[in-house]
Every structure is written in C-alpha cells, then in structure tokens.
A and B are shown apart, each in its own frame.
Chain A
Amino acid sequence: MVVDRLTDEEVDLLFHALADTTRRDILHRCTRSEPSVSQLADLYPISFAAVQKHVAVLERAGLVSKERHGRERLVRTDGNAVARARQVLDELETVWRGRVGRMADLLGQAPPQEAKSSSSGQC
C-alpha cells in the first residue's frame, strides 16, 4: 500500500496547519479522543473563536473533521484510520481476555500427568 501523493497545495496547507504549536497539540489530542470545540477551548489560554480558527485550519488541511453531536461539535482525526486502530485493539483485547480466562481455568485444574518433558524440564 502506497501513501497517497499530496499535491503542492495540500502540502502547503499541511505545513501551515502543523507550523503552529497549539494546532499540533490539538491534533495530538484528537488522535486520542474526540473532544468538542468547547472542551478544546477550555484547555488553552485563548478564546473560543481562536480555537475554532485553529480547528478550521486543521480541517482545511484534511487532518481533522468536525461532526455535530447534539449541541456539540466533536473534532476527530482521519476517521477511518483512528476508528480502525480502535477496532483492532478492541478485538485484540477481547481475544486475549478470553485466552487469559481459559489459562486461569486450566491452572485451576490438576496439571496433566502425561505432559511430556518439554523445554523447561518440568515434570
């Protein structure tokens, strides 16, 4: 799979978007959760309008999108990528919780007598 080629204009927008510390910080937070614009505004010593402007710059660069959720507008990063990351890790967690549960069950039973001597030399 090849990373999409960006046009010169897209690269300009990206550089512009990422050249600011606050915007980088906003972007970073949005990779971890989906804060609302007002939640973001509480985090920085700048006005709500200024945060909105930062989000708009990130949005133009294609780094985040806004989604209406009731009265709030949630800011999220590249939806597919982050959603897939969540899904992958959630599946991994489910699988291993099951495995660990079965391991605990087995340990609750008497060790098998016929276990052939394997690498650790036990039995």
Chain B
Amino acid sequence: MAVISVEKDFDTLSLTLVAEFDAPIERVWQLWADPRQLERWWGPPTHPSTFEKHDLAVGGYVTYFMTDPAGEMSHGWWQVTSVDPPRSLEFTDGFANQDGAPNPEAPITKVRMRLNDHEGGTRMDLRFVFSSPEHMALLERWGAFEVFPKSVGQMDALLDTS
C-alpha cells in the first residue's frame, strides 16, 4: 500500500498526501525527472499522457497532453517554481488550450513534492493547493468574514446580539 495518508482542508482547498515506496530516493526522483517514466504514471491507462517539454529548472515549463479513448486530447502544463534534485520539486499545474498555451480561466493547483529517506525506502510528501477564479472570489468572501469580527469587535456593544 503506497498511500499512507490523505488529509483535506476544505477551507484552504488543500490536500496533503503521504506515500511510501520501497525504493531509494534517486529511483523515485527518476519517475519525475525522466519524461519517459513520468508519462507511464501521470495519466491512467485509459488516458495515456505524452510529455513534450520537460524543463525541470526554476521557471521552466513541462507540457503534456492526455489522449482519451475517443482520441480527444487535453493539454496541461507545469511551471517549476523550485527544484532540488533528488529531494524536492515545486510547481504550478494548470490546464492549457488546444494550442498548448496556458488557459488563464482554468483552475490551477500548486504542488509541492518532497522525498525523504524512510526505513530503507522513500517517503513522498505531496501537498496541493487548489485555486480557481471562482474559489478566489469565495476566499475573498470568507476572508472578509474572518476580518469582520476583528474590525467590528468594538461594535459588539452597539449591536443587538439577542
């Protein structure tokens, strides 16, 4: 069983997943760093993925497309924000239009991946923070709610709290 735990936080739309593998760090890192290995696990067997660009440098892009059973292709991209082989990788994961250009309307997910030695194998910590334009609007609302009580604390007495 590779997945050890999954935690979800609905307030921040984030998910933390911990997995353990019976393989050394360098070998697990290769699954990310070698596009030919990456495409063997990124998409499910029904939606094989093909990686085109694969530049694991800060600011670099990784681009791919997945092909569904009907032959329809969906494009995606990562932009690398931090990399420290073979231990960590951070990137933004998003959708792209048919021409491969990032789609700014679509949701994006910030991904943080860490590898650590663990009992002779490797522990992989993944953290995802999801955001969409809709969600940002929502956060703004909730953010306002968090701020309200502080700023209006002194108004409590003026309000009818019955």
Taking beta carbons and an 8 Å cutoff, which residues of A are in contact with B? 1-3, 14-16, 18-20, 24, 27, 31-32, 53, 81-82, 84-86, 88-89, 92-93, 96-108, 111-112, 115-116, 118-120, 122
Contact = CB atoms under 8 A, between A and B. Distances in A.
B33 A118 contact: yes
Interface in B1-48: 2-3, 6, 8, 10-11, 13, 15, 17, 19, 21-23, 26-31, 33-34, 36-37, 40-42, 44
Name the 5 nearest CB pairs between A and B, nearest first. A102-B41, A104-B2, A120-B85, A107-B23, A89-B8
10 contacts: A2-B137, A18-B145, A32-B11, A89-B130, A103-B31, A105-B41, A111-B30, A115-B36, A118-B34, A120-B86
A16 B6 CA distance: 37
B33 A120 contact: yes
Contacts of A24: 149
Nearest to A82: B10
Contact of B26 (A96, A106, A122): A122
B30 A120 contact: yes
B156 A19 contact: yes
B106 interface: no
B51 interface: no
B8 A93 contact: yes
Contacts, number: 132
B91 to A, nearest CB: 14
A105 B15 CA distance: 23
Interface residues of B, number: 57
Contacts of A27: 145
Interface string B119-134: 0000010101010111
A66 to B, nearest CB: 19
Contacts of A16: 159-161
Given A104-B21, A115-B37, A92 B128 contact: yes
A3 B141 contact: yes
Nearest to A111: B27
B109 interface: yes
A119 B60 CA distance: 13
Contacts of B40: 102, 106
A103 B2 contact: yes
A100 B128 CA distance: 14
A43 to B, nearest CB: 19
B28 to A, nearest CB: 7
